[in-house]
Amino acid sequence: MVLLPNLLGACLAIVATTTAAPAGTCAAPKPPPDSDTPTPGHEMTGIPMPDDFHRFQRIYQKKIRASLPSGNCTKKTIGKRRSWDELDDATRIDYLRAVNCLAAKPALTDKSLAPGAVNRLDDFTYIHINQTNIIHGSGYLLPWHRMFLWQFEEAMRNECGYKGHIPYWDNARFSEDPTSSAVWSGSETGFGSNGVDLHLEPKTLVFPGLTKPFKLPMPGGTGGGCVPDGPFKNLTLSLGPVVKTFVDKNNTYGYESNPRCLARNFDPASSKGVLTWANATTIVSSHSIGQVRGTIEGLWHKNSHTYIGGEGADPFSTTNDPAFYLLHAQIDRLWAIWQGQDLENRQYTIDGNRTFLGIPLTDAPDVPVSLATLDDVMDMGLGYKPKAKEGMPMITGNFCFIYE
Ligand SMILES: [Cu+2]
pLDDT tens digit sequence for 196-240: 999 999 999 999 999 998 999 999 999 999 999 999 999 999 999
The predicted structure's pLDDT at residue 8: 33
Close Cβ partners of 117 (under 8 Å, ≥ 6 residues apart): 107, 109, 111, 123, 125, 126, 238, 239, 255
**71-403: CATH homologous superfamily?**
Di-copper center containing domain from catechol oxidase (1.10.1280.10)
**Cβ atoms of residues 401 and 61 within 8 Å:** no
How close is the Cα of 7 to the center of ligand 1, in Å? Answer: 23
Total Cβ atoms within 10 A of residue 286: 19
On the 0-12 / 13-18 / 19+ scale of CB atoms within 10 A, 272 is middle
How close is the Cα of 315 to the center of ligand 1, in Å? Answer: 7
How close is the Cα of 391 to the center of ligand 1, in Å? Answer: 14
Using DSSP's 3-state secondary structure scheme, residue 203 falls into strand
How far is residue 60 from each of residues 9, 48, 51, 160, 404, measured CA to CA in Å? 24, 19, 14, 31, 10
How close is the Cα of 148 to the center of ligand 1, in Å? Answer: 9
Per-residue pLDDT of the chain (404 residues; tens, 9 = 90+): 333 333 333 333 333 333 333 333 333 344 444 444 455 688 889 999 999 999 999 999 999 999 999 999 999 999 999 999 999 999 999 999 999 999 999 999 999 999 999 999 999 999 999 999 999 999 999 999 999 999 999 999 999 999 999 999 999 999 999 999 999 999 999 999 999 999 999 999 999 999 998 999 999 999 999 999 999 999 999 999 999 999 999 999 999 999 999 999 999 999 999 999 999 999 999 999 999 999 999 999 999 999 999 999 999 999 999 999 999 999 999 999 999 999 999 999 999 999 999 999 999 999 999 999 999 999 999 999 999 999 999 999 989 999 99
How close is the Cα of 292 to the center of ligand 1, in Å? Answer: 17
DSSP 190: S
* Domains of the chain by residue range: 71-403
Q: Which residues pair with 210 in a beta bridge?
A: 361
CA nearest 325: which of 99, 137, 163, 112? 99
How close is the Cα of 15 to the center of ligand 1, in Å? Answer: 31
The predicted structure's pLDDT at residue 224: 98
Close Cβ partners of 90 (under 8 Å, ≥ 6 residues apart): none
The predicted structure's pLDDT at residue 86: 96
How close is the Cα of 32 to the center of ligand 1, in Å? Answer: 37
pLDDT tens digit sequence for 289-333: 999 999 999 999 999 999 999 999 999 999 999 999 999 999 999
How far is residue 262 from each of residues 75, 119, 124, 127, 330, measured CA to CA in Å? 39, 15, 16, 19, 22
The DSSP annotation for 95-130 comes to HHHHHHHHHTSBP-S-TTT-TT--BHHHHHHHHHHH
How close is the Cα of 102 to the center of ligand 1, in Å? Answer: 19
How close is the Cα of 34 to the center of ligand 1, in Å? Answer: 32
**Cβ atoms of residues 316 and 240 within 8 Å:** yes
The predicted structure's pLDDT at residue 18: 33
The predicted structure's pLDDT at residue 39: 58
How close is the Cα of 83 to the center of ligand 1, in Å? Answer: 20
Q: From CA 302, how far away is CA 111, in angstroms rounded?
A: 31
Q: From CA 69, how far away is CA 273, in angstroms rounded?
A: 40
- CA 376 to chain CA centroid, nearest Å: 22
Amino acid occupying residue 211 = T
Buried b (16+ CB within 10 A) or exposed e, 85-117: bbbeeebbebbbebbbbbbeeebbbeeeebebb
How close is the Cα of 239 to the center of ligand 1, in Å? Answer: 15
